[in-house]
Structure 1
Amino acid sequence: MKLALFDLDHTLLAGDSDYEWGQFLVDRGVLDPAAYEAQNREFYAQYVAGSLDIHEFLGFALRPLAEHEPADLERWHAEFMRTRILPMIGDKARALVARHRDAGDLCAIVTATNRFVTGPIAREFGVAHLIATEPESVDGRFTGRVAGTPC
């Protein structure tokens, strides 16, 4: 059996799922646009400079999951998939994954973006294996922290 590993953002997707999730929440009025975008720009500058504190960034990225009800998050994510993600999935990406799946290869998506955002995307591609940053949850609610080591 062969192993086929796929990157997600700017590879299978014609864009960045983490960035799009944040913009989706801004557009829905869930996040304050000025504050969110200023902080996101700062984290991106740190990333480019090689000085990003991944745990600080993940606290920022995962905070909206902790601040809202799971049912709201699921409803928003379904809309996010329809309006933001599906348009970023091209025929070539679908065909590439399908070719490996149909050949019997073990397929996995590997991404630093958190599993809440990326799990439904992996399912859309028909990929059962996902290596992603795991958001911590307690009693069915996200805490805003990462569980284990970030990807």
Structure 2
Amino acid sequence: MTLAIFDLDETLIRGDCASLWSERMCALAWAERAAFMQENDALMAAYGQGRLAMEDYMRFSLAPLRGRSVEDVAAAVERFVDAVIEPRIYPEARRTVAAHRARGDRLLVISASGAHLVRPIARRLGIDEVLAIDLDVADGVLTGQTRGTLTYREGKVTRLDAWLQVEHESLAGASFYSDSRNDLPLLMRVDRPHAVNADAVLSAHARAAGWPQLRW
């Protein structure tokens, strides 16, 4: 058994779940649309250019959740996944996940989005093991803050290394699928990197390194 690791946004699903959730929070009147989406789009543009401070994005994007109960947010997220995310799961992603499962590989999603989004989306693909940005909770209520190392860029490697140690797992023979230049630190750690719907920087690196490039 080897590890099959997947990024989420633009890899397993078409689009970015955090931005789509921002739209949903505006529709729920949890945030004022014009100003909130303008800031969201500016921060996501910085992400695409590899210059986002993820702490800034999480501080911004979690503000509408501050003071809301974990149960209320989870229920809203489930409805969001049903209506918005499920139709965006790539058929090729489903087939690839199924092929790894049939081979007996251990499946893991590692994402720079919040765990409140990543876990329920991963479950739609039958993947229970997730590393994502953990949200801080006090007395059953979200504080609007995060906990621990953020699973972004080198932070994905840090969190994965800790997980491997706890799980007594190895990266020997592991696959990792991602679309983003921000995941190069982890892509370069695995034996079988795959560029999926790659951005320009990742595509150039994959071409030079001879990595498979997939278009889903």
- Both proteins in one fold, TM over 0.5: yes
Runs (5+) with no aligned partner, structure 1: none
**Are 2:23 and 1:23 equivalent residues in the alignment?**
yes
The worse-fitting range, judged by mean Cα deviation, of 63-72 and 136-145 is: 63-72
Q: What is the one-letter code of the residue matched to 1:71?
A: E
Aligned residues: 151
Aligned-residue CA RMSD in angstroms?
1.7
Any idea what the Cα deviations from partners look like across 1:64-83, whole Å, max 9, x if unmatched?
22242333312211210111
Q: What residue in structure 2 maps to residue 125 of structure 1?
A: 125
In the TM superposition, residue 141 of structure 1 has moved relative to its aligned partner by 1.5
The worse-fitting range, judged by mean Cα deviation, of 91-100 and 110-119 is: 91-100
The 3 A distance-change label for structure 1 pair 6 and 45 is closer
1:67-106 aligned within 5 A: 67-106=67-106
Runs of 4+ in 1 over 6 A off after TM superposition: none
TM-score by length of 2: 0.65
The 3 A distance-change label for structure 1 pair 105 and 133 is same
The 3 A distance-change label for structure 1 pair 50 and 127 is closer
The worse-fitting range, judged by mean Cα deviation, of 52-61 and 42-51 is: 42-51
Q: What is the one-letter code of the residue matched to 1:33?
A: R
Quote the Cα distance in structure 1 between the aligned partners of 2:50 and 2:91.
Answer: 34
In the TM superposition, residue 49 of structure 1 has moved relative to its aligned partner by 5.5
Higher relative contact order (CA 8 A, sep 6+): 1
Q: What residue in structure 2 maps to residue 134 of structure 1?
A: 134
The 3 A distance-change label for structure 1 pair 13 and 43 is same
Quote the Cα distance in structure 2 between the aligned partners of 1:24 and 1:47.
Answer: 20
Q: Quick check: 2:134–2:146 contact (8 Å CA) kept in 1?
A: yes
TM-score by length of 1: 0.90
Q: What is the one-letter code of the residue matched to 1:77?
A: V
Quote the Cα distance in structure 2 between the aligned partners of 1:118 and 1:45.
Answer: 21
Kindly indicate which of the two structures has a greater share of residues assigned to helix. 1
In the TM superposition, residue 131 of structure 1 has moved relative to its aligned partner by 1.1
The 3 A distance-change label for structure 1 pair 72 and 51 is same
Q: What residue in structure 1 maps to residue 53 of structure 2?
A: 53
**Are 2:136 and 1:116 equivalent residues in the alignment?**
no
Q: What is the one-letter code of the residue matched to 1:147?
A: R
In the TM superposition, residue 129 of structure 1 has moved relative to its aligned partner by 1.2
Q: What is the one-letter code of the residue matched to 2:6?
A: F
In the TM superposition, residue 103 of structure 1 has moved relative to its aligned partner by 1.4
SS at match of 1:12: coil
SS at match of 2:25: helix
Percent identity, please. Answer: 32
1:30-49 aligned within 5 A: 30-48=30-48
Quote the Cα distance in structure 1 between the aligned partners of 2:111 and 2:94.
Answer: 17
In the TM superposition, residue 102 of structure 1 has moved relative to its aligned partner by 2.1
Quote the Cα distance in structure 2 between the aligned partners of 1:49 and 1:119.
Answer: 26
SS at match of 1:131: strand
